[in-house]
Each structure stands twice: as C-alpha cells, then as structure tokens.
C-alpha cells in the first residue's frame, strides 16, 4: 500500500474533527500560513494545522505522532533558528489561541499559547501594568518567554520568564499538565529558559508590574562619532539605576522624519535609552549623551505598548543572528566593537547591537535554566538581507562580529538571540550542570525527543547526550 493511501484516513479524520484550518500544499492559504519572520527558512511542511482550540492542538499532535511525522510548534514565528517550520512534517500553529485575560487587582495576565507581545502589551496598558516582553510586537509570547524573554524592561522587572507564574502544557504523549511552583516544579524550572523542548504551551500566566510612566530617547550620530558615544553610553549604564535600559547599535540611517537627510542610508551610531519613569527622570540620566549633540533625536514619554510597535524589524528578510555575553566592557573591547561596525553592509536592515543586562536580570541568575545570565553586557549582531545570493556573506558578517569580541566574552550566550550553532553552543547557553538537569526533565516528559526544533536538549536516555 502506498504511503499516500496509508496516510489518507488519518488525515481525513484530522480535518473532519478540527475546529481550525488544516492546510496542505494544494490548499489556498498554505503559502501565507507558511511564512515566518526569517525568510531564509524555506521548509515546506506536509500539514499546517491552524488550531482554534486546545483540542485541535491535541488532535494535531496525535496525528503527527501516529503517522511518525516531525513536529514544529508555531507561535509568533520569530525563531531565527527556524523552530516554527519543519520539512515534510506537521506545523502545530497556535496563532488562533491568542486570548488575553488581565486581572488588574491580582496584577496577572493569562494568555493563550499563540498570543504575540503586541496583543499582551495593549491589553495591560490601560491598567498601567506591564511585563517584560520582546523588542518586536509580533514576536510570540510563548516562544520568547520559554527561551528566557529579554526585552526593554528587563533591568527593572527581570526577564519575561522571571515573571512566569504558571504554564499549561500538552506533553509529547498528549497529556495536559500544569507547571508552576507547586505542580511539576522541575518542569516549571525547565520552562524558565529551556525553550520549546518539553511540550506545547497552550496557556501562560504572568506577574505584572505597575508602569505609571514610561519614557524613551532615541539618539543618532554619524558613525565616526560612534566610539565617543559608546564610551559615554557605557559610563551612563554602569552608574544608572535599574529603571534605565535600552541599547547601543550601529545601523543604516532610516528615512524617518527625525533623521537628517545626509544620514539616511549611511552608517550611523544610535542609542535607545528607555526609562521606567518620567521624561524628566530620563533627561537627568542622558545629560552626558546630549552633550555629544546627537544629529537626530526623539525624546518623549510614550505608552510602553507604542514603543513596542515603533521598533518592529521589517518582515520578509533573510536573517542570521548571533550573541555573546561580556562581564566587563574595557576600552579595548569597546574599541573592537566600534571598529567592527565598518564591516557592515550599508544600506541594509542589519544591526550591530550592544545591550546592557545587570539589574534584575543578574539578581535572578541561578534560579532558572539559563547559564551565566549575570553577564553585564550582550553583543548581538543581527544580519538581515534580501537576496539569497548574499547568504554566505551575511552569515559570515554576523559570525565575524561575534568572534571579534571573543577575547572578552564569558562563553555564555542567550539562545533566543542565535540561530542553529550546534550542540556545543546549546550547552554553553545553559552551562553543563543546567543542561544535564534539563536532559533529565526532557527524559521524563519527552523521552522520544518529539519536540526538537528549538535549540534541542537531548533526553538523558539518549546515548549522544554528551556528543
């Protein structure tokens, strides 16, 4: 009997009982449903199961496992490593599970597994509440959080995962389980940074924080001023309170109203300073930067949810990212960071970023699956390009940027910021002790390694565990 005939009854059964849409290559809507943020990931799933309810998730999982098909789980579709698609397998698409319920008295929010950050931020904003979210509004809440959850509020409120109170999960064998501080605590620990390795998150509950005022400054200089700006920015952050966040980056000057014409499409040095507080408080902190007379600037109080949408990366580009942690940022390291900006291709949407950690990110170190998160800085090159002919060149650029900083790096990295760089880098992201513990949790909840598309943690029963 041919494979097609053998699969047909199970597929018909899936489609007949499905509340959402079940798409194959022959269906209208398949190509649109297949699109993810990283256009360099060109995988073609056999089935895209667009779930409308939790029972759909379970049905798609059973179908995939019964027919021995590989599984990818899609939330926002922003995994640069391509975790949201799988060639010839089943994509369990959660975007229809995007409910948001805010309890302003308890200061909590419960969201469906397909919610994106823009939806959550807009729901908490009217209550003057917020939680650390992604830097792009279309990023999936679940994927970002389970991988740790870095964002503009992290120095004040911790990573997204630090504010995770409970997760409802469907495990590889189709069970519905809840993980929190008292139920399945080992699994709950693993979901703080261990990624999508343990099941399908259908609901997540967060602790929210009061955010009565929020301000931001976006400052821009020509690239030749970058080293002076970078030194002043480093000094600002090293003395700043936890309420101050943001980042320094080299980028192509965008065609925006605040950017002088002579800087558009030219290499620029930019600083974003975010403030959990008022514009007056922000201005006190950035006085040293303003002394350097930025040629483009926006300084304002702004609803946090609006900032989260302002800086969305453009979709449709091919992507390759990397990252490295640094404990210190001596002059030599800052020199190297600024010198490597000259390697950027301009004009391009690519960015060469330096992000400050510390604050609540460091204070919560050792409580979760992430390793070395007490690092004070993160170097994060983001390569974005349009032409597949530039794949090798763009990826080489991102790798070179990271490699140039290695003399000052800790050996750790934030896995949400990188593509597929191999098992050794996965272990480096957790540290060996945490990785071994994650492997034991994996063996308990997914011994067959069904969920393997995120930076994969191998179950402890796997003989290649330490490969």
Dist. CA 188–CA 441, nearest whole Å: 10
Residue 262 pLDDT exceeds 50: yes
Tell me the residue ranges of DSSP E strands in 71-196.
71-74, 90-93, 100-103, 108-112, 129-130, 164-170, 176-180
- Average of per-residue pLDDT across 427-434: 97
Nearest CA to 133 among 410, 143, 385? 143
pLDDT on residue 5: 38
Dist. CA 20–CA 75, nearest whole Å: 15
The string of pLDDT tens digits covering residues 154-178 is 999 999 999 999 999 999 999 999 9
Domains of the chain: 3-93 (3.30.43.10), 100-210 (3.30.465.10), 215-417 (3.40.462.20)
The string of pLDDT tens digits covering residues 52-74 is 999 999 999 999 999 999 999 99
- Average of per-residue pLDDT across 118-132: 97
Q: Which residues contact 160 (CB under 8 A, 6 or more apart)?
A: 131, 132, 133, 134, 141, 144, 145, 148, 149, 150, 151, 206
The string of pLDDT tens digits covering residues 336-372 is 999 999 999 899 999 999 999 999 999 999 999 999 9
The string of pLDDT tens digits covering residues 368-398 is 999 999 999 999 999 999 999 999 999 999 9
Q: Which residues contact 395 (CB under 8 A, 6 or more apart)?
A: 320, 383
The string of pLDDT tens digits covering residues 193-218 is 999 999 999 999 999 999 999 999 99
Tokens found for residue 39: 């256009």
Helix axes 3-16, 54-66, angle to 10 degrees: 170
Higher local confidence (pLDDT), 6 or 124: 124
Run of H or E including 246? strand 244-252
- Average of per-residue pLDDT across 68-93: 96
Dist. CA 278–CA 451, nearest whole Å: 44
Dist. CA 234–CA 356, nearest whole Å: 9
**pTM of the predicted protein model:** 0.95
Residue 7 pLDDT exceeds 90: no
pLDDT on residue 11: 85
The string of pLDDT tens digits covering residues 308-343 is 988 887 788 999 999 999 999 999 999 999 999 999
Percentage with pLDDT > 70 across the chain: 97
Higher local confidence (pLDDT), 310 or 434: 434
- Give 133's pLDDT tier (boundaries 50, 70, 90): very high
- Average of per-residue pLDDT across 22-43: 95
Nearest CA to 444 among 171, 242, 257, 218? 171
Higher local confidence (pLDDT), 204 or 462: 204
Residue 2 pLDDT exceeds 80: no
Partners of 116 in beta bridges: 140
HSE-up (13 A, CA, CB side) for residue 182: 0
Residue 4 pLDDT exceeds 50: no
Tell me the residue ranges of DSSP E strands in 314-358.
318-321, 324-326, 351-356
Dist. CA 349–CA 345, nearest whole Å: 9
């Amino acid at each position: 009997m041919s494979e097609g005939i053998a699969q047909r009854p199970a597929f018909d059964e899936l489609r007949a009982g499905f509340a959402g849409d079940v798409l194959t290559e022959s269906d209208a809507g398949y190509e649109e449903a297949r699109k993810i943020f990283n256009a360099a990931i060109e995988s073609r799933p056999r089935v895209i199961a667009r779930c409308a309810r939790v029972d759909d998730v379970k049905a798609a999982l059973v179908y995939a496992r019964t027919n021995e098909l590989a599984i990818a789980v899609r939330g926002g579709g922003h995994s640069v490593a391509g975790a949201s698609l799988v060639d010839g397998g089943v994509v369990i698409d959660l975007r229809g599970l995007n409910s948001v319920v805010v309890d302003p008295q308890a200061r909590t929010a419960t969201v469906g597994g397909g919610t994106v950050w823009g939806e959550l931020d807009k729901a908490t904003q009217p209550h003057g509440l917020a939680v650390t979210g992604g830097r792009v509004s279309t990023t999936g809440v679940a994927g970002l959080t389970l991988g740790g959850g870095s964002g503009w509020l992290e120095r004040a409120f911790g990573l997204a995962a630090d504010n995770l109170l409970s997760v409802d999960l469907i495990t590889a064998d189709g069970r519905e389980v809840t993980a929190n501080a008292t139920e399945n605590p080992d699994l709950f620990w693993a979901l703080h940074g261990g990624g999508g390795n343990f099941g399908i998150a259908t609901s997540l509950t967060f602790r929210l924080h009061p955010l009565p005022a929020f301000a931001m400054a976006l400052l821009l200089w020509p690239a030749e001023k970058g080293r002076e700006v970078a030194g002043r920015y480093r000094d600002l952050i090293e003395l700043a309170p936890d309420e101050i966040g943001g980042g320094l980056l080299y980028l192509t000057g965008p065609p925006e109203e605040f950017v002088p014409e002579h800087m558009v499409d030219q290499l620029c040095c930019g600083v974003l300073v975010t403030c959990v507080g008022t514009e007056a408080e922000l201005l006190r902190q950035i006085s040293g930067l303003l002394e350097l007379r930025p040629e483009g600037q926006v300084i304002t109080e702004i609803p946090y949810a609006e900032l989260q949408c302002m800086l969305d990366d453009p979709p449709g580009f091919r992507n390759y990212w990397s990252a490295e942690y640094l404990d210190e940022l001596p002059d030599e390291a800052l020199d190297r960071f600024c010198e490597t900006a000259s390697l950027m291709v301009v004009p391009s949407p690519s960015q060469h970023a330096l992000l400050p950690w510390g604050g609540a990110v460091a204070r919560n170190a050792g409580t979760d699956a992430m390793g070395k998160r007490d690092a004070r800085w993160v170097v994060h090159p983001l390569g974005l390009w349009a032409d597949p002919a530039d794949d090798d060149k763009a990826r080489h650029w991102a790798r070179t940027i990271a490699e140039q900083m290695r003399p000052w790096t800790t050996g750790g990295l934030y896995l949400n910021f990188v593509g597929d760089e191999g098992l050794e880098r996965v272990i480096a992201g957790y540290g060996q002790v945490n990785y071994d513990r994650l492997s034991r949790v994996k063996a308990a909840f997914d011994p067959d390694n069904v969920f393997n598309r995120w930076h994969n943690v191998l179950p402890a029963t796997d003989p290649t565990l330490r490969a």
